[in-house]
Amino acid sequence: MAIELEHYLILGALLFSIGLYMALAKRNFVGVLMGIEMMFNAVNLTFIAFSRFPRFADMTDAERLSGHVFVIFVITVAAAEAAVALALAMLVYRNRETIDVDRMDLLKW
Amino acid sequence: MIADNPWLDGLVRMGIIALAMPLAVIILTYVERKISGRMQQRLGPMRVGPYGLFQGLADTIKLLTKEDLRPQTADRWTFELAPFVVVVPVFLAFVTLPFTADLFVRNLGLGLFFIIAVSGVSIVGFVMAGWGSDNKYALLGGARAAAQLISYEIPLVLAVVAVAMIAYTPEAGRGSLNLVEIVDGQGRVPFIVWQPLAFFIFLVAGLAELYRQPFDIPVAESEVVGGPFIEYSGIRWSMFQMAEFVSMVLISVLAALLFLGGWNWPLGNGAGIALQIPLILVKTSFFILLFIWLRFSLPRLRIDQMMQFCWQVLLPFALLQIIINGWVLVYGWPDWTLGVSSGALTLVAGYLTYRAARQAAEEPVSPRLHRVGSVL
Amino acid sequence: MSYEEVIFYFVAAVTVLGALGVVLTRNVVHSALFLILALLAVAGVFILLSAEFLAIVQILIYGGAVTILILFVMMLTRVRDMPQALDGPQRPFAALAAGAFLVLSVLAALSSDWPGETREITVVPFREMGEALFRDWAVPFEVASLVLLVALIGAIVLARGEEGE
């Protein structure tokens, strides 16, 4: 059996669920961020898999490349997000001496 | 093609590289010690063999048989894997590095990009070593290494992009990331003539990527006593040392290929392999000797000066170089405009750096070290 | 098994095991190191999908930049001194959500009738990729670079702290 689209989709789903669990369950700010990065990568993987196995045989190259271009945008936004989030983590740590998201509760009553 | 099977062929070629590089490292250590001796009015190693020629060999045997120590509180796997994470990417970069027109492991279309990307992974190894040693100087060194190497990677990449933009191939026109095509494009005029600014940026950023003097801030003996390598001994320490020298070879070959015309200039494309190999060897040795010479001539920069130089001088000028290249290519201006504009910018950048250095020398300002978190 | 299958299963196993390592290990720095492993393996999957260029981008961005940033912040915030309670009380809910998502998407992937190999696919030519990026997607590209610039300035402003501290 050759490697088909399903294989890549299942791999992406696995990676996404692990990232989702990580982002939801971790108490560490950086841990949450790592989960989000993993989800981004799962999505990228799926994008490229779909562009490698196009739905219609008559798709032009430019249409197929849209998937790749999207991946570049996702990576860009992921990098920007990581930089800002980590700067926030530093700031929170400096003010509160913790990066535990459950203890960032100043606005909670 | 050395062997029929492409897998076997690749492995054999990679094996040759893996054997040749440690040898080159042994020779380079000897050369560096001899030159440093000359520059400091000593003889350098003289005991083992005539003129100390076998000193490197003796050192290798000593390092390999030395006990491999690990601090009790160190984080076992991080500590033990760190040298491999540093060494493997450097060797991987050689997968696509051509030495002559047909002396390479694999000729990848995106070769230049591959080399830059893969060699960036070894930063992880420094951070692992710094954190895993459970030593505050190692941690300081690791944080410094991460900051310096990531910062200087940006001007390095931009300088390389400037060259890739103007590389010319008859089939595809301007622009190439393939190292063989880039070299073939400089048959008559090497790119150092068209892109002197990119050349200097590449040289300085490359020197910083090698964390050698004057950029040895991450491993500075008098500040962080060896930085990330402080707890390493024996074979693992020698792996770090090997990575340093092999990346010096890598940067030197890359500089020769990108800016001095590699195996092509000035003999042209037709020269046989018997002429190409000495040519690339001479150009590479020139850069290696330059790096060694700089090491024993310049004092170490302060960490804030190092960062300022990267972000306030190298980065804006690298961007300017790319913008000018873009203009010249889009409007189809003649080639000499590239050389003239780039040369003028080089002079401006040099003057700005000189003025800043003079200012610092005349009225020493106490360094403003902001408290960055808690480690630096 | 063909070469392709062996390589795919190997790379996929490294990806999933790396990702599991990120979640399961008790030590945050170890989990960041596992993250690097998983993301580099994703670059391997990209190569299998004949997206060479994106694989190298992945190595450059995730192998050498974002993950180093994460490790760097961990050093600066001394997360090692934190109490080891890594997972919060919302853990069962998280497990439920992730599990439900996994089951749903795997079922969807298996039950749909996907097109197989529709035609011979060669390596995506990166010149065409550049054309697509700078011609068809020029405006989104400019917006993305603006996002990066804003993020850069924002991160500096956030992280630099008070003057004279």
List, run by run, the mean pLDDT of 10-residue segments along chain B (376 residues): 76 88 90 90 86 87 86 86 91 88 81 89 89 85 88 91 84 79 81 89 92 84 82 88 91 91 77 82 92 88 84 90 90 86 91 85 63 45
DSSP class of residue C81 equals G
Which whole-number Å values give the CA distances from C10 to B7, B259, C5, C47, in the listed order? 17, 40, 8, 13
- Residue B232, sorted as left (phi over 0), alpha (psi -120 to 50) or beta, turns out to be beta
Residue C126's H or E segment, with its range, is: helix C126-131
DSSP class of residue B364 equals P
Domains of chain A, CATH where assigned: 5-103 (1.10.287.3510)
Q: Is the peptide bond before B266 cis (omega within 30 degrees of 0)?
A: yes
ipTM value = 0.86
pTM of this structure: 0.89
Spatial distance between the Cα atoms of B323 and B319, rounded to a whole number of angstroms? 6
Q: What is the pLDDT of residues C57-116, one digit of tens each?
A: 899 888 888 888 888 888 777 655 555 556 667 788 888 988 999 999 888 888 877 766
User: 2.40.240.20, 1.20.120.1200, 2.70.70.10, 3.30.1330.60: which CATH number matches C1-85?
Assistant: 1.20.120.1200
Instruction: Check whether C165 has a pLDDT greater than 70.
Output: no
Q: What is the pLDDT of residues B202-211, one digit of tens each?
A: 999 999 998 8
Residues of C with Cβ-Cβ distance to A14 under 8 angstroms = 16, 19, 102
Do the chains contact at C59 and B117, CB–CB below 8 Å? Answer: yes
- The A residues from 59 to 88 touching C (CB cutoff 8 Å) are 61-62, 65-66, 68-69, 71-73, 75-84, 86-88
Which whole-number Å values give the CA distances from A95 to A32, B77, B297, C77, C80, in the listed order? 20, 33, 44, 11, 18
CB B259 within 8 A of CB B203: no
Amino acid residing at A65: L
Q: Where are the domains of chain C?
A: 1-85, 125-165
- Proportion of chain A in helix, strand, coil states, percent, rounded to 5: 75, 5, 20
Q: Where does B132-224 show beta strands of DSSP type E?
A: 168-169, 173-174
List of chains touching C (3+ CB pairs within 8 A): A, B
- Residue C41, sorted as left (phi over 0), alpha (psi -120 to 50) or beta, turns out to be alpha
DSSP class of residue B310 equals I
How much is the pLDDT for B202? 93
Residues of C with Cβ-Cβ distance to A99 under 8 angstroms = 77, 79, 82
Burial B140-162 (b: 16+ CB within 10 A, else e): bbbbbbbbbbbbbbbbbbbbbbb
Spatial distance between the Cα atoms of A80 and A77, rounded to a whole number of angstroms? 5
Angle at B119 between CA A69 and CA C4, to 5 degrees: 60
Residues of B with Cβ-Cβ distance to A97 under 8 angstroms = none
Spatial distance between the Cα atoms of C18 and A18, rounded to a whole number of angstroms? 10
Count other Cβ atoms within 10 Å, centred on residue B289. 14
Question: What tokens were used for B219?
Answer: 């491993």
